Amino acid sequence: MTAPVLDPDLLRAFLAVSEHHSFTRAAATLNRTQSAVSVQIRRLEQRLGTELFQRTRAGVALTAAGDELLIYARRLLDLNAEAVDALRARKYETVVRLGVMDDYGTIVIPPLLARFAQNHPEIQVEIETGLTATMPARLGDAYDLVIAMHPKGRGGGELLRSEQAVWAAAESYPAGMQHDVLPVALYPPGCLFRQWAADALDAAGRPWRLAFVSRTLAAVEAIAAQGLAITVVKAGTLPSRLRVLSLRDGLPPLPSADIRLHRARDLSRPAALLADHLQRGISAPGTLC
């Protein structure tokens, strides 16, 4: 014989009546009519095959069966609420927010995410690309994970790999840099490469001008690829349309950078899984080759 199902709505009505010792007051707290609550209690009693309340001059009192059900009703409703909260939290946690540099976001990260999605199709990854200087400070609020570029030996987080900054230009760009004033395409203030490029050229006494500024790698690359300016990129993500320039081209050397992974505190399990996957993928030799 199949056991009767205890409907949570019927249990809520039962608890309300037992707490207020009145069908009228219970109905008011449940935003129902007294007759509707009476029907719910009668339905619950029919399912259980026993009376749960006895009517007295003082109001409504629990029977022995009702007193026994009281403990189970509270536990069942608590368990119901716990299950709903857990599943809602799980749904929220399946979204992982990742902040990353533009070049890594378009070149390095996509194939790693493709492999991650094969093993964890239930986890959604939201990516924001751009300047990463301020992203680690927004961990927890805006991001769960941040992959950022820092000066070598600085920045905290987990070191993933080192990247050499290099000058780059179109294949057709004239050797020897015959321009009196060197046109340079760079990123907005706050970008480490912009600072390094300016410092290196100024220290070398090389006249230059800021010919183009954009937040996106694609735009800066497009200008450089047309031979309108030179730019600074990571050696590991050198665009195929550009070639590396060197001291022979009259350009000063540039520093190397650290690529570091930053994790928010109290990281969810999906975010931790993605962090470990990215850490292994980016740190592996030959990842960017």
In this predicted model, what pLDDT tens digit does every residue of 143-194 receive, in sequence order?
A: 999 999 999 988 788 999 999 999 999 988 776 555 578 899 998 888 889 9
Residue partners of 211: CB distance under 8 A and separation at least 6 = 183, 184, 185, 223, 228, 229
Share of the chain above pLDDT 70, in %: 94
Residue 284: per-residue pLDDT: 74
| pLDDT surpassing 70 at residue 56 | yes
To the nearest 10 degrees (0 to 180), the angle between helices 8-20 and 34-48 is: 110
The structure's pTM equals 0.65
Q: What is the CA radius of gyration of the chain?
A: 33
pLDDT in tens, 110-127: 999 999 999 998 899 999
| Average pLDDT score over the chain | 88
What does the pLDDT average to over 232-239?
89
